[in-house]
Amino acid sequence: MDDPATPFRLPLIAILRGITPAEVADHVGVLVEEGYDAIEIPTNSPDWARSVALAVGAFADRARIGAGTLLEPAQVDALIEAGGTLGVTPNVRPAVIRHAVARGLPLVSGVATPSEAFDALEAGAPMLKLFPAAVYGPAMVRALRSVLPPPVPLFAVGGITPDTLPVYLSAGCQGVGIGGELYRAGQTAEHTRTQAQRFRDAWMGHTA
């Protein structure tokens, strides 16, 4: 089921922290095969821009490939140069948000409080993520959702599991970002596939 509030067919942002250029095609390939169309390669991964470029070259017609842990405008430029079409920040950095917006890059800004959420929106962020979600829990999602403009997509990121995913969706999230429960550096592509299927099934079971 597509959610018109997000630019993704499957609003599960797959986070491949620690992926290397040698591995990226295999892991992004299985994610795309499982229906994922939002892939994040964090900037603290080895040679992250090269991984983005390789994934874009192979899968740009089927998924948005982007980078997370964007902390400065120069990383936004490097991401766009690599062909990336999605940016994610861990926190509110107005300079990064404004730069991404000016360059036409869809951005998900990390927030932890209502004040940060509105600061991010004021800077132009089109999407928000509660991070780290497992620390704040679904009660914070409900609190944020009660004051945020209804069209603003809100993602829960940080510690999400297949079992807790439906809880965050019920609390008011339009989607989630999944990291350590989906991918850990060095694991096989088939393990990534198995975990991707678990999360997708949890999503589909909630939205059916």
Which one is catalytic: 23, 33, 34, 40?
40
pTM above 0.85, yes or no: yes
How confident is the model at residue 7, as a pLDDT?
84
Residue 40 annotated to the active site: yes
The predicted pLDDT at position 1 comes to: 34
- 23 classed as catalytic: no
Are 108 and 89 a contacting pair, CB within 8 Å? yes
Q: In whole angstroms, give the CA distance from residue 71 to residue 143.
A: 26
Q: Give me the residue label for tokens 């900037």.
A: 43
What amino acid is encoded at 82 in this protein?
Answer: A
pLDDT in tens, the chain (208 residues): 344 467 899 999 999 999 999 999 999 999 999 999 999 999 999 999 999 999 999 999 999 999 999 999 999 999 999 999 999 999 999 999 999 999 999 999 999 999 999 999 999 999 999 999 999 999 999 999 999 998 999 999 999 999 999 999 999 999 999 999 999 999 999 999 999 999 999 999 998 7
Task: Kindly name the residue from 33, 72, 81, 129 that is annotated as catalytic.
Answer: 129
pLDDT value at residue 5: 63
* Torsion, CA 23, CA 26, CA 27, CA 28, rounded to 10: 110
